[in-house]
């Protein structure tokens, strides 16, 4: 019999088991060389009992849904390898006890499958349970508005939150608070030109920002302040800028980390609107550019982004604050629904920016850690982590070049990690992919992420967990 030597870390972690399932238990790490027999194995003994203990039905008081935009398996793996090494674990994303995969395809307007989706259609899928066409925000292929998880939770008396590192009008945060034919209709100006059926002057629901103010989540954090300078063209608040409208309607507006820390409560009388940038929020890391010969360059580490303001809260900061504001201790409190997005994994993947992409995945992982910390203490919270769609980056042979663009990074273990981007030429936007993506969960109803599901299944899983209206 061959022996294996392990050291352990006492924490709740995800361990890969049969199929797509993972479990909660004590992490096993090889104490010696990865090249020894069993040295790279992640399991220590039979895991059946741990898997059984992780499967729990029932309902939750709270659900926290965390989305890594464009975070396919390659994006997760490269972040793990870079920061934690080949045998390491992302302490948030890899800690969820049950895992699976789900399909992300969208539809064309005539109802046929569109295998490579965008963030609006995919977000609409989990937000409403209804598949739709690319660019559509929580409407079906005929343009009919579909009720969202956030709207249903609010109608049931739960507190609600919507957090992102993008503009708060961007597709993923928008799917919970608005219904519109084109994701680009952020404010009244674009809506009049591109989505006239939604414009207030035409009797529509208004732009994404105007609908956000009407939907009125208790907590909304992200970027996108620039759109609030636009002026409403019709309705009760015609002539006021959207920023003035928010003030008149009782929103508490904060713009930096100190302002966020000063907020002590959030409810329907005084919801909190955190606008921490004019556009998308700056990313945390920068590093070697991906070029046609980048893979052949000496590997280099990622470095802190000098353009990241010290006054900007991190995604973990925003998540922690949102949870504290939504976790009402008042008598009769009914719980909360919170969506959190790490938006720029996707945006940096589009730009073939390996360090930007990896840093944003680590940023999301820290937010997942914050959510799990609360959920474990609370005991009545479900946490789900997934992506909207896959993306283009691939881990390729170290030091190699490809027909596309490559970047060569130096990991925490001192090894080269080469990422390739092959769906657009230099200066172009790298493409999404149609791959299935990872979904993982913790808490009541988390067993429903196991195996292969569809993105729309997530709507029903969360609806069951929170006892919302559902089919």
Active site residues: 119
Do residues 200 and 210 make contact, with C-beta atoms less than 8 angstroms apart? yes
Indicate the pairing of strand 252-254 with strand 272-275: parallel
d(CA 92, CA 372): 7
Residue 301's region, left for phi above 0, alpha for psi from -120 to 50, else beta, is beta
Report the candidate in 212, 140, 206, 207 with the shortest Cα–Cα distance to residue 176: 212
End-to-end Cα distance, the chain: 54
Residues 308, 312, 313, 315, CA torsion sign: negative
């Amino acid at each position: 019999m061959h022996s294996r030597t392990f050291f352990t870390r006492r924490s709740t972690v995800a361990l890969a088991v049969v199929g797509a399932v993972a479990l909660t238990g004590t992490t096993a790490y090889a104490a010696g060389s990865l090249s020894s027999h069993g040295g790279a194995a992640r399991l220590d003994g039979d895991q059946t009992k741990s898997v059984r203990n992780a499967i729990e039905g029932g309902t939750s008081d709270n659900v926290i849904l965390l989305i890594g935009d464009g975070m396919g398996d390659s994006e997760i793996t490269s972040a793990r390898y870079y920061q934690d090494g080949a045998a390491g674990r992302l302490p948030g994303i890899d800690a969820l006890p049950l895992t699976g995969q789900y399909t992300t395809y969208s539809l064309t307007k005539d109802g046929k499958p569109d295998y490579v989706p965008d963030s609006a259609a995919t977000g609409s899928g989990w937000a409403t349970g209804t598949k739709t066409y690319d660019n559509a925000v929580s409407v079906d292929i005929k343009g009919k508005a579909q009720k969202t998880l956030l709207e249903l939770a609010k109608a049931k008396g739960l507190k609600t939150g919507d957090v992102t590192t993008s503009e708060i009008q961007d597709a993923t945060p928008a799917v919970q608070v608005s219904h519109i034919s084109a994701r680009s209709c952020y404010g009244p100006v674009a809506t009049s030109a591109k989505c006239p059926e939604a414009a207030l002057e035409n009797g529509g629901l208004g732009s994404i920002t105007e609908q956000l103010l009407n939907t009125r989540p208790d907590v909304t954090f992200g970027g996108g302040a620039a759109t609030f300078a636009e002026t409403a063209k019709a309705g009760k608040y015609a002539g006021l800028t959207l920023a003035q409208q928010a003030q008149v309607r009782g929103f508490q507006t904060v713009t930096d980390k100190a302002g966020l820390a000063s907020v002590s409560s959030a409810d329907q009388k005084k919801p909190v609107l955190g606008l921490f940038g004019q556009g998308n929020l700056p990313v945390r890391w920068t590093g070697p550019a991906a070029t046609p010969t980048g893979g052949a360059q000496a590997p280099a580490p990622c470095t802190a982004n000098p353009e990241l303001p010290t006054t900007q809260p991190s995604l973990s900061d925003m998540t922690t604050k949102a949870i504290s504001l939504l976790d009402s201790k008042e008598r009769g409190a009914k719980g909360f629904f919170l969506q959190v997005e790490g938006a720029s994994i996707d945006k940096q993947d589009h730009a073939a920016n390996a360090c930007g992409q990896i840093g944003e995945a680590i940023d999301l992982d820290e937010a997942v850690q914050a959510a799990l910390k609360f959920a474990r203490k609370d005991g009545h919270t479900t946490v789900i982590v997934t992506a909207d769609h896959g993306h283009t980056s691939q881990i390729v042979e170290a030091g190699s070049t490809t027909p596309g663009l490559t970047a060569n990074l130096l990991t925490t273990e001192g090894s080269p990690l080469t990422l390739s981007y092959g769906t657009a030429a230099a200066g172009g936007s790298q493409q999404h992919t149609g791959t299935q993506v990872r979904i993982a969960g913790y808490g009541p109803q988390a067993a429903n992420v196991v195996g292969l599901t569809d993105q729309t299944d997530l709507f029903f899983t969360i609806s069951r967990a929170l006892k919302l209206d559902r089919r």
